[in-house]
């Protein structure tokens, strides 16, 4: 095990669940809730996951975390705008936001590590 992988939060199932799977689960469970409550849960989850990504990038140099952290933090803006009604996205706005967040994370993860490797 390399020195970098020892510090990678993704190297531990417990850390992975706490940093990413728990907030993702909260976002999914919040889908049927009223928009205001859903927006709060999604905002907290995105900030939590984005912060965990930035921390992990600093700890071990994980390539995708360098990009998914800012992406997740940036996604708080459309979530906040839709949740407050400033940017109505229609009846399926939350679905579109969820797809953008999930698809964006997957694309960033896959492409960044394929192009630049796992650690830098």
The predicted structure's pLDDT at residue 4: 72
Instruction: Output the tens digit of pLDDT for each of the chain's 120 residues.
Output: 677 778 888 888 998 999 999 999 999 999 999 999 999 999 999 999 999 999 999 999 999 999 999 999 999 999 999 999 999 999 999 999 999 999 999 999 999 999 999 898
The predicted structure's pLDDT at residue 1: 60
pTM score, whole prediction: 0.92
For the chain, what are the domain ranges?
3-116
Name 21's Cβ contacts closer than 8 Å, sequence gap at least 6.
none
Phi-psi category of residue 85: left, alpha or beta, with phi > 0 → left and psi -120 to 50 → alpha: left
User: How far is the CA of 39 from the CAs of 45, 53, 108, in angstroms?
Assistant: 10, 21, 23
């Amino acid at each position: 095990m390399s020195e970098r992988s020892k510090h990678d939060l993704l190297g531990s199932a417990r850390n992975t669940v706490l940093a990413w799977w728990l907030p993702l689960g909260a976002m999914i469970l919040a889908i049927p809730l009223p928009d205001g409550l859903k927006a709060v849960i999604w905002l907290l989850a995105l900030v939590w996951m984005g912060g965990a990504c930035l921390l992990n990038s600093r700890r071990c140099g994980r390539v995708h975390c360098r990009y998914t952290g800012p992406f997740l933090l940036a996604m708080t803006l459309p979530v906040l705008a839709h949740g407050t009604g400033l940017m109505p996205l229609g009846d399926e706005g939350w679905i579109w936001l969820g797809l953008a967040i999930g698809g964006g994370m997957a694309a960033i993860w896959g492409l960044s590590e394929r192009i630049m490797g796992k650690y830098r």
